[in-house]
């Protein structure tokens, strides 16, 4: 199945005539995939792995990886990334330096990370800085960043995404992913639902500002999104099939970004809201919310706003707006998005998420400035650009 995923991406890049760099050599999504990571590392000739995890992901996957690596004669040095004062493991300068120090002490030749999105970002950036390959063993289907070559880091309280390298291989063991905490599975689904508004905003940017666009890549992301929506019950019940479909969709969404070379296929106003909330939480020293949980709720809020804008009588009737309205109609309304989030037991409103009405209001006014180069409908609404030419 997952071999199909990579060959699909390669075929698409050939068809589009673009060369895509940084694709993983292998993406294995199946029960027991973890046990394939140590033989892969040995085949590549790597001898001295650094295994990065935290205390939770070490118990979920790291311990077994450590044992298998040792059995095969490539014993790993283990480094457990420590949480911050609020008890969160975050991808900040302290975490990155902790991994870099371990790498230097061990003279490692490969980084193996057992963890979710944040740990992967820490390990990815440290591996890149040290000029080493990294291998990913995800412990939760919580974000679409596993296949990414961007590392979102929090440096001095600000979030920035640094272009680094993608993983050499991903071993996504569905037995482990199925056992991930329920909020993380719901978050992965929320990150996928966010593609509804992201795909709309991408089209909006193309229609109003001639932003670069690819129907093939938009189609790839959309089919991954729809696969999740049509298996929402299985995902909520965390069946083998449901978790495999969610994991594949997240990988596929990440690969669509790789293929396009920018984040347009996967992220727009709903992600800008989520980033705005994240930065506010960092500034005020609050515990972090899961990325995908924020994105799912933000998607419902953006959907509500966009449907409201489309219904405004003062919005002029012209060919461009007719086209935009048609695209907004394809985005499910906020109630439908909230029902989907509920079906996977995730938060579906700002109250359930714990974001205040004041923060939501501010973010709806200001979040577009986070990505000043993106022409979203949120930005047009805030900068007086609704009377399009
Ligand atoms: Zn995301």
Assess whether 6 and 142 both reside in one domain.
yes
Decide if 232 is inside a domain: no
Domain boundary among 126, 161, 178: 178
Displacement of CA 380 from its chain's centroid (Å):
25
Cα of 270 to ligand 1 centre, how many Å?
9
Assess whether 136 and 207 both reside in one domain.
no
Cα of 154 to ligand 1 centre, how many Å?
15
Q: Report the run of H or E that residue 52 belongs to, with start and end.
A: strand 49-53
Number of domains composing the chain: 2
Cα of 250 to ligand 1 centre, how many Å?
9
Cα of 283 to ligand 1 centre, how many Å?
21
Angle, CA of 347, 353 and 357, to the nearest 5°:
130
End-to-end alpha-carbon separation of the chain, Å? 46
Cα of 295 to ligand 1 centre, how many Å?
7
Cα of 292 to ligand 1 centre, how many Å?
6
For 193, the domain range is: 182-212+262-382
Q: Are 227 and 219 in contact (CB under 8 A)?
A: no
Residue 76's CB is within 10 A of a number of other CB atoms, namely: 24
Assess whether 186 and 113 both reside in one domain.
no
Contacts of 191 (CB under 8 A, 6+ apart): 142, 143, 144, 250, 253, 291, 292, 295, 296
Beta strand 134-138 pairing with 169-173: parallel
Angle, CA of 53, 36 and 139, to the nearest 5°:
35
Cα of 34 to ligand 1 centre, how many Å?
24
Domain boundary among 178, 204, 224: 178
C-alpha span between 47 and 63 (Å, rounded): 18
Cα of 389 to ligand 1 centre, how many Å?
32
Decide if 248 is inside a domain: no
pLDDT for the residue numbered 35: 98
Q: Are 273 and 166 in contact (CB under 8 A)?
A: no
Structure tokens of 110? 């490969």
Assess whether 136 and 206 both reside in one domain.
no
Q: Report the run of H or E that residue 243 belongs to, with start and end.
A: helix 240-260
Assess whether 15 and 133 both reside in one domain.
yes
Assess whether 109 and 195 both reside in one domain.
no
Assess whether 271 and 305 both reside in one domain.
yes
Q: SS3 of 111, please?
A: strand
Q: Are 81 and 89 in contact (CB under 8 A)?
A: yes
Decide if 243 is inside a domain: no
Structure tokens of 89? 């493991």
Assess whether 35 and 93 both reside in one domain.
yes
C-alpha span between 302 and 268 (Å, rounded): 10
Decide if 256 is inside a domain: no
pLDDT for the residue numbered 318: 86
Assess whether 163 and 187 both reside in one domain.
no
Decide if 220 is inside a domain: no
Residue whose entry in the numeric block shows the structure tokens 């694709």: 23
Instruction: Give the CATH number for residue 132.
Output: 3.40.50.1970
Cα of 192 to ligand 1 centre, how many Å?
8
Instruction: Give the CATH number for residue 355.
Output: 1.20.1090.10
Assess whether 161 and 289 both reside in one domain.
no
Decide if 221 is inside a domain: no
Query: DSSP string covering 140-192, please?
Result: ----S-TT-SEEEEEETTEEEEEE----SEEEEEHHHHHTS-HHHHHHHHHHH
Domain boundary among 152, 178, 204: 178
DSSP-derived letter for residue 80 is E
Cα of 148 to ligand 1 centre, how many Å?
11
Decide if 63 is inside a domain: yes
Assess whether 174 and 203 both reside in one domain.
no
Please give the chain's pLDDT, 389 residues, in tens.
Answer: 456 888 888 888 888 888 887 789 999 999 999 999 999 999 999 999 999 999 999 999 999 999 999 999 999 999 999 999 888 899 999 999 999 999 998 889 999 999 989 999 999 999 999 999 999 999 999 999 898 888 889 888 888 888 888 899 999 999 999 999 999 999 999 999 999 999 999 999 999 999 999 999 999 999 999 999 999 999 999 999 999 999 999 999 999 998 998 899 999 999 999 999 998 998 898 998 999 999 999 999 999 999 999 998 877 778 889 999 999 999 999 999 999 999 999 999 999 999 999 999 999 999 998 888 899 999 999 998 787 65
Assess whether 15 and 152 both reside in one domain.
yes
Decide if 191 is inside a domain: yes
């Amino acid at each position: 199945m997952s071999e199909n995923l990579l060959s699909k991406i390669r075929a698409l890049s050939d068809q589009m005539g673009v060369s895509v760099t940084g694709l993983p050599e292998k993406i294995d999504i199946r029960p027991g995939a973890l046990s394939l990571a140590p033989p892969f590392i040995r085949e590549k000739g790597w001898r001295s792995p650094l295994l990065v995890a935290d205390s939770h992901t070490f118990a979920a996957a790291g311990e077994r990886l450590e044992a298998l690596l040792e059995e095969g004669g490539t014993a790993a040095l283990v480094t457990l990334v420590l949480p911050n004062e609020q008890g969160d493991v975050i991808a900040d300068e302290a975490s990155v330096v902790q991994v870099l120090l371990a790498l230097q002490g061990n003279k490692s030749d490969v980084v193996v990370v057992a963890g979710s999105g944040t740990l992967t970002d820490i390990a990815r950036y440290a591996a890149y800085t040290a000029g080493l390959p990294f291998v990913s063993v995800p412990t939760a289907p919580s974000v679409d960043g596993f296949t990414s070559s961007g590392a979102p880091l929090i440096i001095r309280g600000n979030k920035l995404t640094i272009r680094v390298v993608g993983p050499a291989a991903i071993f996504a063991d569905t037995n482990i992913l199925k056992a991930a905490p329920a909020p993380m599975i719901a978050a992965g689904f929320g990150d996928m639902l966010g593609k509804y508004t992201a795909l709309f905003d991408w089209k909006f940017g193309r229609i109003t500002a001639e932003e670069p666009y690819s129907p093939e890549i938009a189609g790839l992301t959309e089919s991954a999104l729809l696969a999740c929506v049509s298996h929402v019950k299985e995902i909520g019940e965390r069946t083998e099939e449901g978790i495999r479909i969610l994991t594949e969709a997240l990988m596929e969404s990440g690969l669509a970004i790789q293929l396009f070379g920018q984040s347009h296929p996967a992220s727009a106003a709903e992600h800008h809201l989520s980033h705005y909330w994240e930065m506010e939480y960092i500034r005020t020293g609050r515990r972090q919310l899961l990325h995908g949980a924020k994105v799912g709720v933000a998607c419902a809020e953006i959907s509500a706003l966009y449907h409201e804008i489309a219904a405004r009588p003062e919005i002029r009737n012209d060919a461009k707006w007719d086209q935009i309205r048609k695209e907004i109609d394809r985005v499910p309304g906020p109630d439908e998005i909230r029902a989907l989030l509920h079906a996977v037991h995730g938060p579906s409103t700002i109250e359930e998420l714990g974001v205040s009405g004041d923060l939501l209001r501010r973010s709806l006014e200001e979040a577009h400035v986070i990505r000043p180069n993106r022409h979203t409908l949120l930005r047009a609404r805030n900068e007086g650009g609704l009377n399009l030419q």
